[in-house]
A and B are shown apart, each in its own frame.
Chain A
Amino acid sequence: AQSVTQLGSHVSVSEGALVLLRCNYSSSVPPYLFWYVQYPNQGLQLLLKYTSAATLVKGINGFEAEFKKSETSFHLTKPSAHMSDAAEYFCAVSLTGANSKLTFGKGITLSVRP
């Protein structure tokens, strides 16, 4: 079984500030980890994924995440927030193998202040 914990439901940062969205996972086997973004009234878009290669993963729009097995974490960061980053962000985990259904965290809403 696997699960994802995203602490807090809302993060607010100033434009140009560091973005840090936290994700911790639980998995009985080495996991695949994902961050998705959802803009209002749209579907989910993949930001980045960890698939057991490099532990530091770079994604789209300047986001990156680091897989830390000892901390069971996969936190999402971006050095400088833009207004366009305001959205809801979901961390997800899936098991390797044939059944690749995603288990999502509750999501975090990111607000960016001018």
Chain B
Amino acid sequence: GAGVSQSPSNKVTEKGKDVELRCDPISGHTALYWYRQSLGQGLEFLIYFQGNSAPDKSGLPSDRFSAERTGGSVSTLTIQRTQQEDSAVYLCASSSSGTVNYEQYFGPGTRLTVT
């Protein structure tokens, strides 16, 4: 079936504006992850959703970042009052659930540029 999709693929925004990034996970995958890839910090975990459990937000860098997952499927990552240091590629991944650590399937990412 289809893989993880993300939109938009590229986003250019002005400093101080809010942005929303969308992730459509693989159908049936109950776990969803957001990561950020930047030149200075490498690949960093941001947030993790697992079914109906409370999300693990331990990787969110500031309170300007938030994410939600509606209906256990699509997720939106929102960055408020964007700063230049938010420029990065935002990657979404999904996996099937269970007590064993399953493979995470990654989307192509959204490249965010804050000017």
Residues 85-115 of chain B, each 1 if its beta carbon lies under 8 Å from chain A, else 0: 0000001010100011111111111000000
Considering the complex, give the chain A residue whose CB is closest to the CB of B102: A100
Cross-chain contact B91 with A44 (CB below 8 angstroms): yes
Q: Would you give the shortest CB distance from B46 to chain A, in whole angstroms?
A: 9
Cross-chain contact B99 with A44 (CB below 8 angstroms): no
Chain B residues near A42 (CB, 8 Å)?
Answer: 108
Q: Do A100 and B56 form a contact, CB below 8 Å, given A43-B107, A43-B108, A44-B106?
A: no
Q: Do A96 and B101 form a contact, CB below 8 Å, given A101-B33, A102-B45, A103-B45?
A: yes
Per a CB cutoff under 8 Å, which of B56, B93, B107 touches A99?
Answer: B56
Q: Would you give the shortest CB distance from A40 to chain B, in whole angstroms?
A: 12
Count the B residues whose beta carbon is within 8 Å of the partner chain — how many?
Answer: 26
Cross-chain contact A51 with B100 (CB below 8 angstroms): yes
Chain A residues near B107 (CB, 8 Å)?
Answer: 43
Q: Would you give the shortest CB distance from A23 to chain B, in whole angstroms?
A: 14
Answer yes or no: B50 CB below 8 A from chain A CBs: yes
Complex CA–CA separation, A16 to B111 (angstroms): 34
Cross-chain contact B101 with A51 (CB below 8 angstroms): yes
Q: Would you give the shortest CB distance from A106 to chain B, in whole angstroms?
A: 5
Chain B residues near A111 (CB, 8 Å)?
Answer: none
Considering the complex, give the chain A residue whose CB is closest to the CB of B103: A46
Supply 16 further A-B pairs (C-beta < 8 A) apart from A44-B91, A100-B101, A102-B35: A41-B108, A43-B109, A51-B101, A95-B101, A96-B100, A96-B101, A97-B99, A98-B50, A98-B99, A100-B48, A101-B33, A101-B48, A101-B59, A102-B43, A106-B42, A107-B42
**Chain B residues in contact with chain A, CB under 8 A?**
4, 31, 33, 35, 42-45, 48, 50, 56, 59, 91, 93, 95, 99-109
**Chain A residues in contact with chain B, CB under 8 A?**
32, 36, 41-46, 49, 51, 90, 92, 94-107
